[in-house]
């Protein structure tokens, strides 16, 4: 029956059905992942962070798959660090992480939101699983009441938890502000436990920032200022040396920062001064990011306005996730100036950017495809969204025959890859490095579900 296509299914059955098929044959709508681009994006980020001499904390929440997590960690990981934003993500990762531990690799998970009372039991089980082979789970604290919770995790699991203090850098979203009574109270409580009971009870790792980089402030100066502000506030928050300072930045900044030796600006000089001060205090810098894996239009917006030398670090060809859909209906002469419009399903929630419609239709499967730039947008433009649907308008000069367009398959670059991917239970995986077979399904990656 047709309904079995949409039922919850095993990865084995999906592989058996779809591997070897073409994007022109699979049921729609579908999330399509280009594994060649994912590999390239992951390798490039690992290389960039390594050249900066930073540690790296990859986030898995944007894709929620074991296969991509393995690529994020790299082939020769000496230590595995992973950032999750839910405990069920950590649970789904355990088989992979235990495999690493069997080979002698040190493993730790950072739980990227403060712990709550209902999560203590699950967190303790994860801590126990990792702790048997020397791994650990790290928690973020921004209120003194959470100290008792992580102590309960340690008592229940038998392994001491590690903790960061989550710092409010100024966006007022989460974290505790340095210099406030609440910050001093929290730090004193942690210090008291460590000094009286030792690291076998609780270990203090360092300070953690999770400030957002807003789309409306995506220029280079704003990015440098935000990164410097994170490091400076975490550095000044620390009354002791030899800690870990964990900070966040958009992919393009991490990818470009190591190439700034010849450049000078007030903001860059200030950041370099902060980096020197951090090194002198013997602090380790840990970069965390997850958006770099699939990339999306938001990444390109950030990149176009925040480059060091005017050269784009990211392009359309780096976006690994596209949403495959098809034209459902046509409306000749309905658009402005009598332009042709079309209707597609799965538009709104997958492609909206918070203000309007942020998706871009690629040139894949377009008869008028440009020979000069095959990965830029085509003559279809997303005009408006409503619910799960969107309206396209034809902006090209030569309007095609309406009869040839109904049912035409389109691949759309989403504005927000994480949000778009959440709509789907699995990714159809293709490999653009297989010349002549770029549209053939080579694997199925099933997304974790809670």
pLDDT in tens, 203-212: 999 999 998 8
Give the pLDDT score at 349. 64
CATH of domain 35-294: 3.20.20.10
Mean pLDDT of 391-411: 83
Mean pLDDT of 251-261: 73
Give the pLDDT score at 132. 94
Average pLDDT over the chain, rounded to an integer: 87
Tokens at 54, concatenated:
């930073």
Q: Is the pTM of this model over 0.95?
A: no
Which segments of 112-248 does DSSP mark as H helices, in order? 120-131, 145-157, 181-197, 220-237
Q: Is the peptide bond before 29 cis (omega within 30 degrees of 0)?
A: yes
CATH of domain 2-33+315-446: 2.40.37.20
> Quick check: 252 pLDDT over 90?
no
Kindly indicate the confidence band of residue 312, based on its pLDDT and cuts at 50, 70 and 90.
low
Ranges 33-37, 191-195, 218-222, 428-432: which has the least confidence: 218-222
Contact 94, 107 (CB under 8 A): no
Q: Where do the CATH 3.20.20.10 domains begin and end in the chain?
A: 35-294
Q: Coil, helix or strand for 30? A: strand
Residue carrying structure tokens 């309905």: 334
Q: Where do the CATH 2.40.37.20 domains begin and end in the chain?
A: 2-33+315-446
């Amino acid at each position: 029956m047709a309904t079995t296509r949409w039922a919850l299914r095993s990865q084995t059955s999906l592989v058996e059905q779809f591997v070897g098929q073409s994007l022109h044959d699979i049921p729609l709508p579908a999330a399509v992942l280009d594994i060649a681009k994912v590999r390239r994006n992951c390798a490039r980020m690992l290389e960039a962070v390594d050249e900066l001499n930073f540690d790296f904390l990859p986030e898995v929440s944007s894709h929620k798959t074991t296969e991509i997590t393995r690529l994020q960690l790299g082939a020769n990981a000496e230590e595995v660090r992973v950032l999750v934003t839910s405990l069920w993500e950590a649970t789904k990762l355990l088989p992979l992480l235990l495999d690493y531990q069997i080979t002698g690799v040190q493993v730790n998970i950072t739980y990227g939101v403060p712990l709550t009372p209902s999560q203590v039991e699950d967190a303790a089980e994860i801590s126990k699983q990792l702790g048997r082979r020397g791994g650990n789970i790290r928690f973020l604290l921004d209120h003194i009441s959470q100290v008792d919770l992580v102590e309960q995790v340690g008592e229940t699991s038998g392994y001491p938890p590690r903790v960061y203090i989550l710092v409010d850098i100024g966006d007022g979203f989460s974290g505790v502000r340095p210099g406030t009574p609440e910050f001093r109270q929290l730090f004193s409580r942690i210090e008291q436990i460590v000094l009286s009971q030792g690291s076998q009870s609780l270990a203090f790792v360092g300070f953690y920032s999770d400030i957002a980089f807003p789309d409306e402030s995506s220029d280079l100066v704003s990015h440098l200022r935000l990164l410097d502000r994170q490091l400076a506030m975490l550095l000044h928050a620390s009354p002791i040396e030899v800690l870990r300072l964990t900070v966040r930045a958009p992919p393009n900044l991490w990818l470009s920062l190591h190439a700034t030796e010849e450049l000078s600006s007030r903001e860059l000089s200030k950041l370099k001064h902060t980096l020197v001060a951090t090194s002198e205090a013997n602090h380790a810098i840990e970069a965390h990011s997850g958006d770099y894996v699939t990339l999306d239009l938001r990444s390109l917006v950030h990149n176009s306005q925040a480059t060091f030398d005017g050269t784009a670090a990211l392009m359309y060809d780096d976006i690994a996730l596209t949403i495959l859909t098809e034209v459902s209906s046509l409306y000749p002469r309905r658009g402005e100036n009598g332009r042709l419009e079309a209707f597609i399903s799965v538009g709104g929630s997958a492609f909206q950017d918070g203000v309007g419609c942020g998706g871009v239709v690629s040139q894949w499967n377009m008869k008028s495809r440009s020979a000069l730039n095959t990965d830029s947008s085509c003559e279809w433009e997303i005009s408006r969204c409503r619910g799960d649907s969107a309206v396209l308008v034809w902006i090209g000069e030569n309007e095609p025959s309406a009869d040839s367009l109904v049912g035409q398959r389109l691949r759309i670059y989403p504005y927000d890859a994480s949000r778009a991917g959440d709509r789907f239970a699995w990714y159809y995986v293709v490999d653009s490095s297989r010349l002549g077979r770029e549209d053939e399904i080579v694997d199925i990656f099933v997304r974790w579900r809670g």
